[in-house]
Amino acid sequence: MRVLILAESCNPEWPSLPAVTYKAIKAIAELAEVTVATSVRNRENIEKVGFGRATVEYIDTEYVAKPLYKVATFLRGGEGAWTAVVALQYPTYVAFERDTYHLFRPRLAAGDFDVVHRMSPMSPTLPSYMAAPLRRRHKVPFVLGPLNGGLPWPAEFRQERRREREWLTAVRGAYKLLPYRSSTYRDATAILASFEHTIRDLPEQTAPRTMNFPEVGFDPALFSSEQRPDAPEKTILIAGRMVPYKMPDVTVEAFARSPILQKHRLVVVGDGPLRASMEERIRSAQLEQRVEFTGKLTQAQVGEWMRRADIFAFPTIRELGAGALIEAMASGMACVTVDYGAPALLIDADRGVKVPLGDKESITVAVQHALEELVQDPARLRRLGDGARRHVEQLYTWDAKAKLTLDIYEWALGRRPKPDFWQR
Q: What share of the chain is helix, strand, coil (3-state, %, to 5)?
A: 50, 15, 35
Which pLDDT score, from 0 to 100, does residue 166 have? 65
Q: Kindly state the DSSP code that residue 165 receives in the 8-state scheme.
A: T
Given pLDDT bands bounded at 50, 70 and 90, which one contains residue 114?
very high
Residue 45 has pLDDT above 80, yes or no: yes
Can you give the C-alpha Rg of the chain in angstroms? Answer: 22
The larger pLDDT score, comparing residue 405 to residue 151, is at 405
Which pLDDT score, from 0 to 100, does residue 414 have? 97
Assess contact for 256 and 282: CB atoms under 8 A: yes
In 3D, which of 123, 99, 126, 119 has the Cα closest to residue 181? 126
Residue 295 has pLDDT above 80, yes or no: yes
Assess contact for 226 and 333: CB atoms under 8 A: no
Residue 385 neighbours by CB under 8 Å, 6+ apart: 225, 310, 332, 333, 334
Residue 83 has pLDDT above 80, yes or no: no
Given pLDDT bands bounded at 50, 70 and 90, which one contains residue 171?
low
User: What DSSP letter does each residue of 290-308 carry, written as one string?
Assistant: TEEEEES--HHHHHHHHHH
Mean local confidence (pLDDT), 401-413: 98
Q: What is the β-pairing status of strands 334-338 and 311-314?
A: parallel
* Cα–Cα distance, 179 to 177 (Å, whole number): 7
Which pLDDT score, from 0 to 100, does residue 345 have? 92
Given pLDDT bands bounded at 50, 70 and 90, which one contains residue 72?
low
Which pLDDT score, from 0 to 100, does residue 84 have? 63
The larger pLDDT score, comparing residue 144 to residue 80, is at 144
Residue 80 has pLDDT above 70, yes or no: no
Q: Which domains does the chain have, with CATH numbers?
A: 2-217+398-423 (3.40.50.2000), 235-395 (3.40.50.2000)
Per-residue pLDDT reduced to its tens digit, 4-38? 999 999 999 998 899 999 999 999 999 999 999 99
State the CB neighbour count (10 A cutoff) for residue 77: 10
Mean local confidence (pLDDT), 86-102: 90
Kindly report which listed range (84-88, 138-142, 351-355) carries the lowest average pLDDT score.
84-88
